[in-house]
Amino acid sequence: MTDTAHPQALSGTRVLDLTRLLPGPYATYILAGYGADVVKVEDTGAGDYARHSPPLEASDFGAAFTASNAGKRSIAIDLKTDEGRAVFRRMVQGADVLVESFRPGVMHRLGLDYAKLSEINPALVYCAISGYGQNTRRAALAGHDLNYQGVAGLLSQRVEGEPEALPPALLGDLVGGSFSAVIAIMAALLERRASGRGRFIDISIGHGAMALMPLVSVAAVNGEVVKPFGRTALSGGNPAYGIYVASDGRRVALGALEHKFWKTFCLRTGLDDLAEWRPEGDDAAAAVVRQRLETLFRSRSAKEWETLGAQWDVCLTATASVSEALDGARTEGLPVFDSYARGTSRGDVRVEVLKGVCADLTQMSRVLTPPPQQGEYTRSLMSEAGYSDADIAAYLAAGIVKGPQ
């Protein structure tokens, strides 16, 4: 479903997506959510191997592929052949954006780098997503989210005693990669309106992830002594901002940073003597306050605390499981989900997927096409590019392009 009275920002924008796995595909999935026509350009071999990871029962695809490829079309081209590259170049002529995530140098060796393609289409916005950027000392190295978080300094921000605990989310891939790419692409498209020309975008996931630490980073880069993680005001050093265990074993989050919230919380809970207390760098005093809060929170269940927190308005909530958070959004009818129908022997099964951007609650939920099979739209996309049925059949027979199996 789309709001026809308000056309989507990227309606009429063609995106060629040569990426695999998660950072690139999720970036282009977000662009598709704003109306872009995303064409997934795959090789004629394995294609995007995220498709073949252990499948979800609902979608019959792996979780990463399901989460980031609905609403796209796929064409499979052998870019190692002259004929395949010619097909691709013809598609570039009608494209607005190209996103690739090969190791630096791959597209240059294929003769499909920005310098070459911008000669064909000067208005092309070309976004290269890589682990460490195109021209850095780590440019040629392989990596995954954990490596990028480590290089960015994120993994140093760990509670003492738990340095090997893995991060709870793919922050490098999604923030350093996907969201950084989307912001840069959107900005380049706006810039193009004025200049008429596209540009090259060099997204480094490892460096992009640094954006998650603006407070720590601005202190460190300017020579300030940064307290270890767990002792800063927002990482555990202030007991008014912390996670506590309730009587039922579930956890609650107290975020009473402002004095007005802290004072109200203390007066409501019988901690009157702490109502005027403020964290002033006294770790010993903070430890005593934290112990008192730990005892207090064990006196009620998480649900009871959340109810009281809403009544008192003191930034106190129960922590939800992933399923509870999603069910809560669904119960409120919030537009954070899209869906598509997958045909099975039992009929169509409805598969729900999160929107790429869940924060904008003015959006409408949409019914998407399912994530594509490899080369599912090869014939139709080649036809759109001006190839005849006979040409398409010849290319398919020669293995230059590939259709669905």
| Catalytic site positions | 173
Q: Which of 233, 239, 231, 235 lies closest to 294 in space, CA to CA? A: 239
Maximal CA-CA distance, the chain: 85
Q: Give me the residues paired with residue 317 across strands.
A: 253
CA gap 188, 275 in Å, rounded = 51
- Which residue pairs from 288-294 have beta carbons closer than 8 angstroms and sit at least 24 positions apart in sequence? 289/239, 289/240, 290/239, 290/242, 293/239, 293/242, 293/244, 293/254, 294/244, 294/245
CA gap 403, 74 in Å, rounded = 9
> What would the two tokens of residue 122 be?
């000067």
Between vectors from CA 83 to CA 79 and to CA 86, what angle results, nearest 5°? 80
DSSP state of 359: S
How many CB atoms sit inside 10 A of residue 54's CB? Answer: 7
Q: Give me the residues paired with residue 26 across strands.
A: none
Q: Give me the residues paired with residue 243 across strands.
A: 253
Query: What are the residues whose beta carbons fall under 8 Å from the beta carbon of 141, sequence distance 6 or more?
Result: 131, 132
Number of residues that this document lists for the chain: 405
Given a contact cutoff of 8 angstroms between Cβ atoms, the answer to whether 48 and 18 are in contact is no
CA gap 65, 223 in Å, rounded = 43
Q: Which of 114, 116, 43 lies closest to 80 in space, CA to CA? A: 43
> What would the two tokens of residue 343 be?
């045909």
Between vectors from CA 256 to CA 251 and to CA 259, what angle results, nearest 5°? 160
